[in-house]
Amino acid sequence: MAGQNFVDYVKICCRSGPGGPGSAHLNRNRLTAKGGPDGGDGGRGGHIILRGNRNLWTLLPLKYRKHVIAGRGGSGGESHSSGADGEDIILDVPLGTIAKDAETGKVLFEISEDQETRIIVPGGRGGQGNAHFKSPTNQTPRYAQPGEEGKEEWKILELKVLADVGLVGFPNAGKSTLLSVITAAKPKIGSYPFTTLVPNLGIVKYRDHASFIMADIPGIIEKAHEGKGLGHRFLRHIERNSVLLFMVPADTDDIKKEYEILLKELSMFNEELLDKPIVLAITKSDLIDEELKEMLKPELPQGIPHIFISAVAQKGLTELNDLLWKELNPTPEK
């Protein structure tokens, strides 16, 4: 996934169309000199609509489209004819796109299904024609409603990556290296923090032609839930993963403490993340011997499946895939 082509955040100005005015027409023809009101209603203004598209994986098409303007509703006509509705603007977005109000930050909705459509800014209502205002005391009203104005609002669109397994860890935990070894993905790898600035996806080929998708989520840091670093923009991608693979290097001073910090950042961002299956991988295990591994095991978090791996030395990777597949496809309890 090319970093420059992956866009997971855009802010756009959406202007829906104003409704068309109603007509104040009175019925006049060669047979009717003084007919009653027959003005039609104005058309609805155009909506701004989001539509899910499973073939998209980035918000790149909207990156340079800062203003989106829908069409104006048509005016009502004679003989009770209504004006045409304004042209709707439909924006195709990837699945997992959430829409927010730019001023309040309130989440409006999430697009999660292909071809799902949601109105992000509604068009103005068309005005009623004078036929609606006829009464026993006013047989020929010569007025009609104007159309309702459209709305101009700034909206934020954010994308959450969908994958079977999401890699969770601090910068330099070896996530990109693991992804590059067990999939065909080619993420940027470096020995400095925040080498990965966008999620990378890869397909892990498993036994009997099966496969699952793995996502390298950019490294989080302590207090990421408060927005430190790019905390919020990193953490939201984890919400769309089925299984979370926590990765802690073997040369870390306190593996359990680092795991608990990662766990806390996720829970402070969204407690529901802790309901997902979790696997702990001790990375860079080629740096320690078997005796040290046995000494470390009692200090690891209890009740969490764990495994020692080395992506560089390609040790424990088959066992890791087996463990992840088991978590993705649990055996139903009898």
Q: For residue 110, is pLDDT > 90?
A: yes
Average pLDDT, the chain: 86
Pairing of strands 278-283, 306-308: parallel
Per-residue tokens: 319: 């066992």
Quick check: 3 pLDDT over 50?
A: no
Opening angle at CA 2, ends 205 and 282, nearest 5: 50
pTM score above 0.85:
no
163-328 classified as CATH 3.40.50.150: no
- Which residues have CB under 8 Å from 323's CB, separation 6+? 279, 305, 307
Q: Is the pLDDT of residue 222 over 70?
A: no
In this structure, which topology does domain 1-159 adopt according to CATH? Spo0b-associated Gtp-binding Protein; Chain: A, (2.70.210)
DSSP H helices, the chain, are 60-63, 175-182, 231-238, 255-269, 290-296, 317-328
Q: What would the two tokens of residue 218 be?
A: 């950019």
The percent of residues in the chain predicted with pLDDT above 90, rounded, is 51
Q: In the prediction, which pLDDT does 195 show?
A: 45
Sequence ranges of the chain with CATH classification 3.40.50.300? 163-328
Here the tokens at position 164 are 């079977």
Going from the C-alpha of 113 to that of each of 52, 95, 99, 110, the distances in angstroms are: 6, 6, 14, 9
Instruction: Say yes or no to pLDDT of 295 above 80.
Output: yes
* Statement: residue 231 has pLDDT above 60: no
Classify residue 214 as exposed, middle or buried by CB count within 10 Å of its CB (0-12, 13-18, 19+).
buried
pLDDT of residue 31 exceeding 90: no
Task: Compute the average pLDDT of residues 289-296.
Answer: 88
Q: What is the pLDDT of residues 158-198, one digit of tens each?
A: 988 778 998 988 887 888 889 889 987 665 554 444 444 56
What is the mean pLDDT of the segment spanning 3-19? 86
Judge contact between 166 and 279, C-beta under 8 A. Answer: no
Q: What is the identity of the amino acid at 289?
A: D
User: What is the mean pLDDT of the segment spanning 28-52?
Assistant: 90
Q: What is the pLDDT of residue 162?
A: 75
- Give me the pLDDT at residue 35, please: 81
Q: Which of 103, 46, 93 is nearest to 65 (CA)?
A: 93
Q: What is the pLDDT of residues 64-91, one digit of tens each?
A: 888 999 999 999 999 999 999 999 999 9
**188 touches 3 (CB < 8 A):** yes
Predicted confidence at residue 9, as pLDDT, reads 87
Domain with CATH 2.70.210.12 in the chain: 1-159
